[in-house]
Homo-oligomer: A and B are copies of this chain.
Amino acid sequence: MQRERKPGPSVPETGAVPQSDAVDEIQHAWLRELPGVPVESIGVITRVWRTAKILGDERRRTLTRLGIDSATLDLLSTLRRAGPPYAMTPARLKDLCLVTAGAISQRVGRAEAAGAVRAVRSPGGRTLRVELTDAGHALIEGSVERLLRYEDDLIGHLSPAERDRLTELLRKLLDGLLERGHGDSPIGPPED
């Protein structure tokens, strides 16, 4: 019983051996070319990667239409969802955004030039404080809402149960990677 890729949802049973996709081919190719090396991780890692790439490309195009870029969205989102007073230091932003301090400096510089944030010296002139401006508020709220609705639709082909299961597995994978990799900065220090 062979089937083609047809428009209608074919019968969803029979362990419908998911005909090998591009990633399976990569895995089989290495198994054939380099016998002996463990290729199992490819099934997970390469798929995570490609999925992230596609979602990223998709997001980039969507954001371009909305007049904002991925990096700025990340910065403004972090400030916005923190709730009032919608401000924090570059150091904290670095921990939450998962990028280097240099990247934060650049992001803030661009966002400031765009009028979305304002960088001010705290009393005494010590630590820096990056805060969302009214324009930044308007920009991020509209973008996030549209983006979330769009992305919710993007993964709409997964059933609620599948999404939950996937969420749990990814949570476990991520948690393990954080503990292992740099068991030093899992999230961030004080977390005040």
Interface residues in chain A, defined as those with a beta carbon under 8 Å from any beta carbon in chain B: 6, 9, 12, 14, 18, 21-23, 26, 29-30, 32-34, 37-45, 47-58, 80-83, 96, 98, 141, 144-145, 148-149, 151-152, 154-155, 157-158, 162-163, 165-178, 180-181, 186-187, 189-191
Does A177 contact B154, Cβ atoms closer than 8 Å? Answer: yes
Residue among B80, B176, B191 making CB contact with A158, cutoff 8 Å: B176
Per DSSP, chain A at the interface is: helix
Interface centre among A9, A33, A45, A178 (most CB of B within 10 A): A45
Rounded to whole Å, the gap between the CB of A10 and the closest CB of chain B is 11
A155 to B40, CA, bound (A): 10
